[in-house]
Amino acid sequence: MKGTELVLQALRDRGVQYIFGYTGGAIMPVYDALVDSRLDHILVRHEQAATHMADAYARVTGKAAVVLSQTGDWTLGLLTNNVWSFAGDSDREPVNKGILQYFIVRQLGEAGHRVVTLDNLSTGFRDAVLYGDLVEGDTGDEALVMDTLDRYAVDTVMHFAAHTIVPESVADPLKYYGNNTASSRTLLERAHAHGVRHVVFSSTAAVYGIPSDGKASEASPTRPINPYGSSKLMTEWMLRDLAKAGGPSYVALRYFNVAGCEPTGTIGQSTPKATLLVKVACEAATGRRPGVAIYGTDYPTPDGTGLRDYIHVEDLATAHLDALTYLRDGGESTVLNCGYGHGYSVREVLAAVERANGKPLNISEEPRRAGDPPELIAVAERIRDVLGWTPRFDDLDTIVRTSLEWERKIAAGDPSAYWAA
Q: Which candidate, 203, 238, 200, places its Cα nearest to that of 218? A: 203
Residues 6+ apart with CB under 8 A from 243: 249, 250, 333
| Distance from C-alpha of 145 to C-alpha of 90, rounded to nearest angstrom | 11
Helices 313-328/100-110 angle, 10° precision: 50
Residue 404 near residue 256, CB atoms below 8 Å: no
What are the backbone dihedrals phi and psi of residue 81, each rounded to the nearest 5 degrees, phi first? -110, 35
Residue 132 near residue 115, CB atoms below 8 Å: yes
Residues 6+ apart with CB under 8 A from 178: 90
Residue 338 near residue 217, CB atoms below 8 Å: no
Residue 349 near residue 361, CB atoms below 8 Å: no
Residue 411 near residue 288, CB atoms below 8 Å: yes
| Distance from C-alpha of 333 to C-alpha of 235, rounded to nearest angstrom | 14
| Distance from C-alpha of 239 to C-alpha of 234, rounded to nearest angstrom | 9
Measured from the Cβ of residue 321, the count of other Cβ atoms closer than 10 Å reads 20
Residues 6+ apart with CB under 8 A from 71: 26
Radius of gyration of the chain (CA): 24
| Distance from C-alpha of 403 to C-alpha of 421, rounded to nearest angstrom | 19
Measured from the Cβ of residue 28, the count of other Cβ atoms closer than 10 Å reads 12
228 is catalytic: yes
Residue 156 near residue 177, CB atoms below 8 Å: no
228, 310, 340, 344: the active-site residue: 228
Residue 19 near residue 66, CB atoms below 8 Å: yes
- Per-residue DSSP letter, 368: P
How many H helices and E strands in the chain? 14, 18
| Distance from C-alpha of 101 to C-alpha of 85, rounded to nearest angstrom | 7
Residues with catalytic function: 228
